[in-house]
């Protein structure tokens, strides 16, 4: 099977150092395997999006030497596919409508497959997946063996929100399968989403890709670099310093002699071995 990797940014801000690391890491893994590297814009959450962000991220990637294979997939164009997946779950009685508010659930109450609040006139429900008492195990290519009891950690999680938007977990799983992604390389902040995604793949009869979660980039005070806080944008008009920092973050040499991003990435690729990526869950961004 052809290796197919992807980079799947949410357009909530400009490309920042943490997402550059995910982009570079997933690109290196895909090219090292002689595979393809796809880009998918996860624009399914309009309230969280920043106008112009998708264009800004898509323009920045080639400036960093990262060219996607094939056309970019926009999740905002994929509503019909998410509707189909939702109908499939509904037909199998794997989802239920829920009118509970966050407050209702604050005390750690378990829904156990049914809504505690009951239908509320004039209010649309969220739709939740029925999550049994199941332990999901997978072997992360960098972080090692993982196990999560899905009932205890995620519970009956929302797959379609009150406003009618589909949750990231559902859209991600549907599109990884649609795009034929064989390996998901992304930041370690998404490690704990993976069991939910694997469970959804099983519910929908979709294949499970391999997973590799890169160390999460932290700022000077030990917090995650976050796009939405506009922290640490990288400058695509002067790409070499940030690209070198991203390579150093992944324990690769920074090749002082390289003159442009494409050369720098080619040199990095020659040295790249996924087995030598840093085996830690997070580290400080230089």
Rounded to the nearest whole angstrom, what is the least distance from the CB of residue 97 to ligand GLU in the complex?
26
What distances in angstroms separate CA 191 from CA 8, 52, 102, 174, one per listed residue? Answer: 15, 28, 24, 18
Which 15-34 residues touch ligand GLU, going by CB under 6 A? none
Residue of 21, 29, 190, 225 interacting with ligand GLU (CB under 6 A): 190
Distance, CA of 199 to CA of 156 (rounded, Å): 12
Rounded to the nearest whole angstrom, what is the least distance from the CB of residue 172 to ligand GLU in the complex?
5
Beta bridge partners of 95: 129
Q: Choose between 26 and 255: whose C-beta lies nearer to ligand GLU.
A: 26
Residue of 60, 61, 89, 172 interacting with ligand GLU (CB under 6 A): 172
Tell whether residue 42 is a contact of ligand GLU (CB under 6 A): yes
Q: Choose between 45 and 100: whose C-beta lies nearer to ligand GLU.
A: 45
Q: Choose between 44 and 240: whose C-beta lies nearer to ligand GLU.
A: 44
Burial class of residue 256 in the structure, from the number of CB atoms within 10 Å of its CB (0-12 exposed, 13-18 middle, 19+ buried):
exposed
Burial class of residue 146 in the structure, from the number of CB atoms within 10 Å of its CB (0-12 exposed, 13-18 middle, 19+ buried):
middle
Residue of 4, 5, 9, 173 interacting with ligand GLU (CB under 6 A): 9
Q: Which residue is listed with tokens 């790249």?
A: 272
Beta sheet of 95-98, edge-to-edge order? 95-98, 126-129, 158-160
Tell whether residue 186 is a contact of ligand GLU (CB under 6 A): yes
Tell whether residue 8 is a contact of ligand GLU (CB under 6 A): yes
Tell whether residue 10 is a contact of ligand GLU (CB under 6 A): yes
Q: Choose between 11 and 65: whose C-beta lies nearer to ligand GLU.
A: 11
Q: Choose between 9 and 261: whose C-beta lies nearer to ligand GLU.
A: 9
CA dihedral 123, 193, 8, 248 (to 10 degrees): 140
Residues in touch with ligand GLU (CB under 6 A):
8-10, 42, 172, 186, 190
């Amino acid at each position: 099977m052809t290796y197919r990797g992807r980079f799947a940014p949410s357009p909530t801000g400009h490309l920042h150092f943490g997402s550059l690391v995910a982009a570079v890491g997933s690109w290196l893994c895909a090219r090292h395997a002689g595979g393809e590297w796809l880009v998918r814009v996860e624009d399914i959450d309009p309230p969280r999006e920043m106008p112009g962000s998708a264009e800004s991220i898509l323009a920045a990637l080639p400036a960093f030497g990262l060219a996607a294979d094939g056309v970019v997939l926009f999740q905002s164009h994929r509503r019909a596919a998410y509707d189909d997946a939702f109908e499939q779950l509904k037909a199998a009685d794997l989802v239920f409508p829920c009118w509970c508010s966050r407050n209702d659930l604050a005390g750690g109450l378990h829904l156990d497959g049914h809504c505690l609040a009951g239908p509320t006139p004039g209010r649309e429900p969220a739709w939740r997946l029925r999550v049994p008492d199941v332990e999901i195990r997978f072997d992360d290519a960098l972080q090692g063996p993982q196990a999560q009891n899905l009932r205890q950690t995620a519970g009956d999680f929302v797959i379609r929100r009150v406003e009618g938007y589909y949750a990231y977990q559902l859209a991600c799983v549907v599109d990884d399968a649609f795009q034929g992604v064989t390996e998901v390389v992304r930041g370690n902040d998404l490690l704990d989403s993976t069991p939910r995604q694997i469970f959804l793949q099983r519910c929908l009869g979709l294949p499970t890709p391999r997973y590799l979660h890169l160390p999460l980039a932290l700022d000077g005070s030990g917090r995650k670099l976050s796009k939405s806080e506009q922290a640490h944008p990288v400058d695509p008009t002067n790409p070499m310093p940030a690209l070198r920092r991203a390579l150093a973050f992944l324990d690769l040499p920074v090749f002082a002699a390289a003159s442009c991003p494409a050369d720098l990435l080619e040199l990095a690729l020659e040295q790249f071995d996924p087995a030598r990526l840093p085996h830690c869950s997070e580290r400080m961004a230089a």
